[in-house]
Amino acid sequence: MEIRNVGKSGLRVSAIGLGCNNFGMIDIESARKVVHRALDSGITLFDTADIYGNRGGSESQLGEILGPRRKDIVLATKFGMAMDGEGVKVGASRRYIMQAVEDSLTRLKTDWIDLYQLHQPDPNNTPLEETLEALSDLIRAGKVRYIGCSNLKAWAVTDAWWIARERHLNGFISAQDEYSLLVRDIEKELIPALEAKGMGLLPYFPLASGLLTGKYTHGGEVPQGTRMALMKRLADRFMSDANWAVVDKLAGFCAARGRSMLELAFSWLLSHRALSSVIAGATKPEQIDANAKAGGWKLSTEDLAEIGKITAR
């Protein structure tokens, strides 16, 4: 497993990470098998969030499963989305951050979080200065080692970088955002900002909710039990005529080279210099095996140019 730095920081993670958003939704024994297979495969980045698994379920399962192996991984979690229905446990204020981190540490059964990420822009519009000051205090207290952000606009990421520099605070080392062969919006502004500020990209939904796995066919019946079958909003979003036109061409590209769509999706992402780790979810150990091997295709300049033409919108 290739190991990469997260941006220009000293944090090093596996090129393929494990997204734990399914934990808390699947039973703990199934989650345990996935975690153990990931550890055996050399995956070191485990990414979760307080909200995953019906508010706390994912972190709780990880805390139960990891035990002494906690020290062997880079544990990333997030805060900021609503953890109650009253609008109290939400946001990025100092008051809430200090509570949220203690709740996550308790569920995860650990003394520290390697990468603590702001999950979304604060709906209460807390100034970034307050958020960064609180997070820097957590780093000084030893409860957090690095901080990152997710789903922020490029201007907000840049603003946070300047605030941290001017106030001598710890800054975000990473940004976690949606990015795949089918969703390339962040290329225009966010990725150039990350490269300019030395931050690492951690893409989620790298397989476009499964459309890039090769298990779906254009015009075919959606397999039962899959994400697209269970979540109509995802099927409506991703299974568009425009996306299928791209997927069909990418399938031909892969077939001509004896490769799989999974290999293409991961290897294309890993070809970007800003990318630190591809976060891929799994509910079965076999998916871990496939994910761990999928990033080894070294795409040529010609390959990347052709892929660019196919996926351009």
Structural domain boundaries enclosing 89: 3-210+268-297
Residue 250 domain flag: no
pLDDT tens profile 151-198: 999 999 999 999 999 999 999 999 999 999 999 999 999 999 999 999
Residue 49 domain flag: yes
Scanning the structure block, which residue is given the tokens 């008051």?
95
Q: Please say if 216 is a catalytic residue.
A: no
Residue 218 domain flag: no
- In this predicted model, which residue has the larger pLDDT, 231 or 175? 175
Residue 123 domain flag: yes
Q: How confident is the model at residue 226 (pLDDT cuts 50, 70, 90)?
A: low
As a whole number, the mean pLDDT across the chain is 93
Residue 46 domain flag: yes
Q: How confident is the model at residue 219 (pLDDT cuts 50, 70, 90)?
A: low
Scanning the structure block, which residue is given the tokens 């805060």?
79
* Total count of domains within the chain: 1
3-state secondary structure 67-86: HHHHHHCEEEEEECCCCCCC
Q: For 110, list phi and psi in degrees, rounded to 5.
A: -140, 165
Residue 148 domain flag: yes
Whether this model's pTM surpasses 0.75: yes
Count Cα neighbours of 128 within 13 Å in the Cβ-side half-sphere: 24
Q: How confident is the model at residue 227 (pLDDT cuts 50, 70, 90)?
A: low
pLDDT tens profile 64-93: 999 999 999 999 999 999 999 898 999 999
Q: What is the pLDDT of residue 224?
A: 66
Q: What is the CATH number of the domain that holds 169?
A: 3.20.20.100
pLDDT tens profile 258-312: 999 999 999 999 999 899 999 999 999 999 999 998 988 999 999 999 999 999 8
Residue 134 domain flag: yes
Residue 261 domain flag: no
